[in-house]
């Protein structure tokens, strides 16, 4: 089995990285992860609460999005008390010319959101004890 297909291994990796650095870089998608892009009345309260807990645990948060109006994104995040350190930008301590935003972990409705949500909750429960 591929090593990181085992959730225990990917969870352990996040915990180890957090212990080593005292922080993680978490990139979270905007549309349909924290914002109801299709206006269907969907809620994202658990993911948003997780993001707030990550901020309280000293994580660096990047909102990454395909939205072209980044002012709209920033205003939405501020109005909904969703913490972030940047939008579509690498952290200042990670210099890269790649188009991919650097992160230890990515929260995205189209990329295993449930597994990553569970792993980050495990991390937070571990460090909050």
Q: Give domain limits for the chain.
A: 24-113
* Pairwise CA distance, residues 96 & 75, whole Å: 27
What architecture is the 24-113 domain classified under in CATH?
A: 3-Layer(aba) Sandwich (3.40)
Give the pLDDT band (50/70/90) at residue 1.
confident
Cβ neighbour number for residue 11 with a 10 Å cutoff? 19
**pTM for this one?**
0.94
DSSP secondary structure, the chain, as one string: --GGGSHHHHHHHHHHHHHHHS--EEEEESBTTTB-TT-S----HHHHHHHHHHHHTT-EEEEE---S-HHHHHHHHHHTT---SEES---TTS----SSPP-SEEE-TTS-HHHHHHHHHHHHHHHH-
Show the tokens assigned to 99. 């188009």
By the 10 Å C-beta count (0-12 exposed, 13-18 middle, 19+ buried), 73 is classed as: buried
Kind of pairing, strands 60-64 and 86-87?
Answer: parallel
Tens digits of residue pLDDT in 64-121: 999 999 999 999 999 999 999 999 999 999 988 888 999 999 999 999 899 999 999 9
């Amino acid at each position: 089995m591929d090593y990181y297909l085992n959730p225990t291994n990917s969870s352990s990796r996040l915990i180890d990285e957090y212990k080593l650095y005292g922080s993680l870089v978490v990139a979270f998608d905007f549309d349909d992860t924290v914002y109801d892009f299709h206006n269907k009345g969907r809620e994202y309260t658990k993911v948003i609460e997780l993001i707030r807990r990550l901020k309280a645990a000293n994580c660096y948060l990047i909102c990454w999005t395909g939205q072209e109006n980044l002012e709209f994104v920033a205003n939405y995040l501020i109005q909904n008390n969703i913490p972030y350190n940047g939008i579509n930008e690498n952290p200042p301590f990670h210099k890269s010319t790649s188009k991919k935003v650097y992160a230890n972990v990515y929260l995205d409705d189209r990329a295993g959101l449930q597994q990553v949500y569970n792993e980050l909750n495990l991390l937070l429960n571990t460090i909050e004890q």
